[in-house]
Amino acid sequence: MTGVLRPGHVQLRVLDMEAGVHHYRDILGMQETGRDAEGRVYLKCRDEFDHHSIILRETDQAGMDFVGFKVLDLPTLDDFEKKLQAYGVETHRIAAGDLLETGERVRFTTPSGHQVELYAEKTLVGNGCGDTNPKPWDPKVTHGISPVRMDHLLLFGPNVPETLKLFTEVLGFNLVERVLGPDGETNIIVFLSCSIKSHDIAFAHYDEPGKLHHVSFLMDSWEQVLRGGDIMSMEDVPVDIGPTRHGVTRGQTIYAWDPSGNRFEIFKEDRQPYPDHPPLTWTLDGLGAGGGLDYVQRKLHETFLSVVT
Query: Which entry of 51, 205, 213, 214 is annotated as an active-site residue?
Result: 214
Q: Does residue 22 have an active-site annotation?
A: no
Q: Does residue 152 have an active-site annotation?
A: yes
HSE on the CB side for 184, CA within 13 Å? Answer: 0
Q: Does residue 199 have an active-site annotation?
A: yes
Query: Which entry of 23, 114, 152, 213 is annotated as an active-site residue?
Result: 152
Q: Does residue 255 have an active-site annotation?
A: yes
Rg for the chain, CA atoms, rounded: 18
Give phi and psi for 62, each to the nearest 5. -70, 165
Query: Which entry of 52, 199, 205, 213 is annotated as an active-site residue?
Result: 199
Query: Which entry of 246, 269, 277, 302 is annotated as an active-site residue?
Result: 246
Q: Does residue 214 have an active-site annotation?
A: yes
CB-based contact 219:262 (threshold 8 Å): no
Query: Which entry of 58, 81, 101, 265 is annotated as an active-site residue?
Result: 265
Q: Which amino acid is at 257?
A: W
Q: Does residue 114 have an active-site annotation?
A: no
What is the DSSP secondary-structure string of 170-208?
Answer: IS--EEEEEEE-TTSSSEEEEEEESSSSS-SEEEEE-SS
CB-based contact 30:12 (threshold 8 Å): no
Residue 211: exposure state from Cβ atoms within 10 A (0-12, 13-18, ≥19): buried
Question: Annotated active-site positions, please?
Answer: 152, 199, 214, 246, 255, 265
